[in-house]
Amino acid sequence: MSSNSKKILILAGDGIGPEVMGEVKRTLGWFEKRRGSGFETEDGLVGGCSFDKHGVPLTDETMQKAIDADAVLLGAVGGPKWDNLPFKDKPERGLLRLRKDMELFANLRPALVFDALAEASSLKTELVKGLDIMIVRELTGGVYFGSPRGIETLPNGERRGINTQVYTTSEIQRVARVAFELARKRGNKLCSVEKANVMESGVLWREEVQKLGDTEYKDVQLSHMYADNCAMQLVRQPKQFDVIVTDNLFGDLLSDCAAMLTGSLGMLPSASLGAADKGGKRKALYEPVHGSAPDIAGQGKANPLACLLSLSMMLRYSFDQGEDADLLEKAANNVVAKGFRTGDIMAPGCTLVGTKEMGDEILKELDRLAA
């Protein structure tokens, strides 16, 4: 492998992860053969499959490989088989450790509606047709990680649960910077979301984002919105948004809300990015939003498009291969427009296909587009 090849660690994980990742590998092969991309891939275990083999949801060795890679592609983790494991051994802890040890603080969640699937949304078609929102969620701070935290018993015998919502200037600014930069490359509009009306951490968030906008991003149209209003606006008039930046808790809720505007979780990718090094490179993890779907695992029914679109995000954000990313997204759009559907997005008059057949159609479409 040439020294300039890109090192990708592939962690297929549990459930439908290995099946959808199989189509990603085939597509990577196409880009190597047809577009001259050089990829060096290695496989590793994460989640339940790692626990079954090694007794931990992520080994130190795999963690180190993730840190050394140029990008990590993950399938899915978890399943009922591992539901009763102790908290520290649960498959999801493997994913959380990847995010934490790779210091991935910015989670990018696009909510993109393919025209052919606009009717799959639970909202009226005209509200979502052409929808293209990017939600940037802070991923390593806030109430999910703040301390003190825990459950304690009070002198009167009552129990009390404690979590702490905490943010610093630098934590807010670094995720806001990612969002501002994305807005510049898109529609030049950024909406920052918090609860400054009832939370001091929200006041700080609003002040720091505004300060950054005033000093470094005067060209970006910045607005602020309370999180509860944002949830309402997402289902009332979602196309008013371009890029949204928000904290860990609100980002968790709002990105899932936005995801459902599209009508299919099987179509949605995500990226989690770390800080840029001196050469501008960031540690990065790419994964579909859908879970491990144990009910259909191993049956060849899973929709590989979210995982393939995660690959597209990897090409765009880790390897600066924007044209290749566009090509893959166009192929996915065209295949869906031609009526090919996996079960999760099936509609009357369309052609039902399985995981591999959908992958075949993507490769055929890539051939056609590249001809």
Q: Is 74 annotated as a binding residue?
A: no
**How long, in residues, is the chain?**
371
**Residue 195 catalytic?**
yes
Q: Is 35 annotated as a binding residue?
A: no
CA 302, 305, 310, 314 dihedral sign is positive
- Which of the following is catalytic: 68, 214, 228, 320? 228
Q: Is 280 annotated as a binding residue?
A: no
Q: Is 101 annotated as a binding residue?
A: no
Burial of 45 from C-beta contacts in 10 A (0-12 / 13-18 / 19+): buried
| Beta-strand relationship, 351-352 and 340-341 | parallel
**Residue 267 has what DSSP assignment?**
G
Q: Is 269 annotated as a binding residue?
A: no
Please answer whether residues 98 and 74 qualify as being in contact, where contact means their C-beta atoms are separated by less than 8 angstroms.
yes
- Which of the following is catalytic: 252, 283, 317, 344? 252
The span from the first CA to the last CA of the chain, in angstroms, equals: 27
- Which of the following is catalytic: 43, 101, 132, 256? 256
Q: Is 85 annotated as a binding residue?
A: yes
d(CA 257, CA 235): 8
- Which of the following is catalytic: 195, 242, 286, 344? 195
Cis (ω within 30 of 0) for the bond into 57? no
Q: Is 301 annotated as a binding residue?
A: yes
Q: Is 298 annotated as a binding residue?
A: yes
Q: Is 88 annotated as a binding residue?
A: yes
**Residue 144 catalytic?**
yes
**Residue 256 catalytic?**
yes
Q: Is 159 annotated as a binding residue?
A: no
Q: Is 86 annotated as a binding residue?
A: yes
- Which of the following is catalytic: 129, 144, 189, 326? 144
In 3D, which of 295, 302, 194, 185 has the Cα closest to residue 244? 194
As annotated, the binding site includes 79-92, 99, 109, 137, 228, 252, 256, 291-303
As annotated, the binding site for Mg(2+) includes 228, 252, 256
As annotated, the binding site for NAD(+) includes 79-92, 291-303
Active site residues: 144, 195, 228, 252, 256
As annotated, the binding site for substrate includes 99, 109, 137, 228
